Amino acid sequence: MTDHSDAWRGAVQVGNCLIHVAVDGAHKAPRLMLSNSLGSDLTMWDPQLAAFSKHFRVIRYDSRGHGKSDAPQGPYSIMVGQWLGTNAPSRVDKLILLNTTSYYADKQSWTNRIEFVRTFDYG
């Protein structure tokens, strides 16, 4: 990280849920928000953090029910980046979506992954 890093760890209230957030990098640097995949937490970005935080203010968070974030009663939807791009495009300069979809013709693989995540111990 740069010498001007202003790291922060904590939780923010979003509706009825506390979301665990980590922020790294210079306070005035351009913002880079990283959203992790289902069944993981914000630490999945740790290997890239040093390189990213040299150029960006890196914002990571644990999705509801993941990592250190609360898990209030569902149901949930998880199209965060897709929702932002469609419903709030003025809030995003660039949007890169990887390994995602808004529709699953065969929902069984999705259901299997959700069941696996429910039994996973984040320790």
d(CA 117, CA 63): 12
Domain boundaries, the chain: 8-119
* 3-state SS class at 32: strand
Of 22 and 2, which is predicted with more confidence? 22
d(CA 112, CA 98): 20
Q: Quick one: which of 31, 9, 35, 8 has its CA closest to 20?
A: 9
Report the chain's terminal Cα–Cα distance, integer Å: 27
Give this prediction's pTM.
0.80
Residue with the two structure tokens 């390189």: 51
Single-letter code of the amino acid located at 89: P
Query: What pLDDT, in 10s, does the model give residues 29-60?
Result: 999 999 988 888 999 999 999 999 999 999 99
CATH superfamily of 8-119: Alpha/Beta hydrolase fold, catalytic domain (3.40.50.1820)
Asked if 53 and 33 count as a contact pair (C-beta separation under 8 A), the reply is no
